[in-house]
Amino acid sequence: MFEAKLANSGLLKKIVESIKDLVTDAPFDCSETAMSLQAMDSSHVALVSLKLEVGLFDTYRCDRTINLGLSLANMSKALKCANNDDTCMLKYEENEGDSIIFTFADPKRDKTQDVTVKMMDIDSEHLGIPEQDYAVVCEMPAAEFQKTCKDLATFSDSLNITATKAGIVFTGRGDIGSSVVTYSPSSNTDDESEAVTLEVKEPVNVNFSIKYMNQFTKATALSDRVRLSLCNDVPVVVEYPIEENGFLRFYLAPKIDDEENME
């Protein structure tokens, strides 16, 4: 059996909302130490990797490793029933059929609500994600990254990221014009959470679909900070840490630039 209780439903809500447009089906792998999820979008361009460690939960019990396949749309419907402050208990009993029970409890009002969601058979093949030494790791406020992506999206459908020791530049260039956002590594900011930190082993210059980036930034609600790990010709990792006990990562395959421009 599997049983896990979150102190507030809001967290799960935010997670589901930020990924449900990207992936439709979510095979949750529940083990003794964590609840995790890995899924690619239908075009195999982006990958969502979620890890919720035991520390995030008020209670957590998982007798053996199980795989719970859920439709994210259905999960989102279930979670809509909950207030953000409600506690959320996930329960799965092997001998009780193929459903998961979400129990939302409002401690102030002594109210509980049980929502049962049918599970799905999801063919989940775990992808091996190779270890990668990234040439550039940049941390910045999540909101800042979100705004940048939004701004560039109005000009272009691809986002160019260039990073050198001097700074990281986000460029969106399109027919109507262009938008270039430059961050120099900030050493003078007092507020730690507002700082943009940049580690550069090698300069990079990569292009990504901005549409996907905008999808990812929906997770901004989850975390104050975002970390971008970049390398030339390799998928970028956009990582939102979750309360130091987990993360939501997005992998996005780059766009290959053609060396000569078309007429």
Partner 1 sequence: MGIVGLWKIIEPTATEIPLECLEGKKLAIDVSIWIYQAQLAYPSDQPFPHLRLLVNRLSKLLFYKIRPVFVFDGPQVPVLKRQVLESRRQKRKNDDDILTNPKKMGKLKEIAAGGLDEDALSKAIKEVISPSKKVVLNDVYKDIPSTSTNLDLPSAHQNDQLVYGEIESSGEDSDDSDVIIETPMKKEEPDQKMFPSRKMEIRNLVEKREVMRNSRLRPDMIPQDSKSFSNFQMQRLLQRGRLNAQIEQLAKSNTTSSGAFSSDKINVTGPDGTSHVLKYAHSDEIQEVQPELKREFDSLYQPPLEMTLDVFNVEYGGKKLSREVTPDDVREEIVERIEERLIDKTERGYQSKSGMLEAIARKRIRQHYGTETIEDKEEERRRRREEEQEDELIEVSDDEMDLQKVLFESASKALDEKMASLKKHRPDSDDEEWDPQRNDIPSTSSAAQRNLTDDYIHLDYDDDNERTPELYRDLQEFLTNAGIPWIEAPGEAEAQCVELEKLGLVDGVVSDDSDVWAFGVKHVYRHMFAKNRRVQRYGEQTAANRDNCKLFCLQREDYISIAILAGGDYCPGLVKVGAIGALELVSEFVEKRNDQSETIEVIENRILRLLEKAGQLFLSSPDEKRFTSRKAMMLKRHVTEANERELIENVCSNKDAVHAYLHPTVDDSSEKLRWRQMNIPLIRQILHQRLQWPDRTQHHEEKNSFNAFEKWNTFLQAGGRSQMRLDRFFAQKLDSALELKWSKKVVEALEKIGKRTKGVSLDEEKLVEQKEDDEIKVLEIKKKERKPSEKKKKAAPGRGRGRGRGRGRGGAKISKTTEKKELNLSEDSSSNDSFDDFCK
Applying CB under 8 A, which residues contact partner 1?
40, 43-47, 125, 127-130, 157-158, 207, 209, 234-235, 251, 253-258, 260-263
Please, which residue, 99 or 124, has the CB nearer to partner 1? 124
CB of 46 to partner 1, least distance (A): 7
In angstroms, give the least distance from the CB of 163 to partner 1.
Answer: 19
Q: Which is nearer to partner 1, 21 or 58 (CB)?
A: 21
Nearer to partner 1, 176 or 256 (CB): 256
3-state secondary structure of 200: strand
When the beta carbons of 10 and 254 are compared against partner 1, the nearer one is 254
E strands of 119-177, at which residues? 136-141, 158-164, 167-173
Q: How far is the CB of 191 from partner 1 (least distance, A)?
A: 35
Q: Which long-range contacts (CB under 8 A, 24 or more apart) does 27-31 make?
A: 27/67, 27/68, 27/69, 27/70, 27/122, 27/124, 28/67, 28/68, 28/69, 28/70, 29/65, 29/66, 29/67, 29/124, 29/126, 30/2, 30/4, 30/62, 30/65, 30/66, 30/67, 30/68, 31/62, 31/65
Shortest distance (Å) from residue 43 CB to partner 1? 7
